[in-house]
Amino acid sequence: MVKLLEEFELDNKPFFLTTDNASNIVTMAKELEASLGSEVFSAENNHISCIGHVINLVVQTAIVAGLKAQAPENTDSSDDNDTTEAESSASIIKSLRSGIRAIRSSPARCEQYIEFCTNATPKLKPI
């Protein structure tokens, strides 16, 4: 990367790097700082995490935490206005689990689900 920056005479111009948080990219950012100097590139200040990747990581973590959460068996409320946020979340988690069980209980449904995820735009990762 340094050779490329030198080739285009950019090795002495400050710049920012927007990437995901992969460990190899973090290592590269530190190496860039060591090679170019912190006046040109600071791994801490000039390496910016892509907001799309950050949001994806947050959502993936929330989904995993939600799937691991213990959902109460009785989440029905006699009055919809009295439903708390926790009850609503538990109901959503219970519905998701029920749907996942239905898909996983049938090889044909599993194949349909994987095909749907593969053909979706944007691409979806089957869970």
pLDDT recorded at residue 34: 93
Cα 22 to Cα 25: distance, rounded to the nearest angstrom: 5
Query: For residue 14, is the peptide bond before it cis, meaning its omega torsion is within 30 degrees of 0?
Result: no
Whether the Cβ atoms of residue 48 and residue 17 lie closer than 8 Å to each other: yes
Backbone angles phi, psi at 92, to 5 degrees: -65, -45
> Global pTM?
0.43
Quote the pLDDT of residue 30: 92
**pLDDT above 70 as % of the chain:** 83
> CA-CA-CA-CA torsion for 40, 17, 25, 59, nearest 10 degrees?
150
Tell me which of 2 and 82 has the higher pLDDT.
2
Which tokens hold the place of 20? 């995901």
Does pLDDT of 82 surpass 70?
no
Q: Which residues are paired to 19 by β-bridges?
A: 49
Mean pLDDT rounded to a whole number for the chain: 79
Tens digits of residue pLDDT in 33-77: 998 998 898 988 888 888 888 888 888 887 777 666 665 565 555
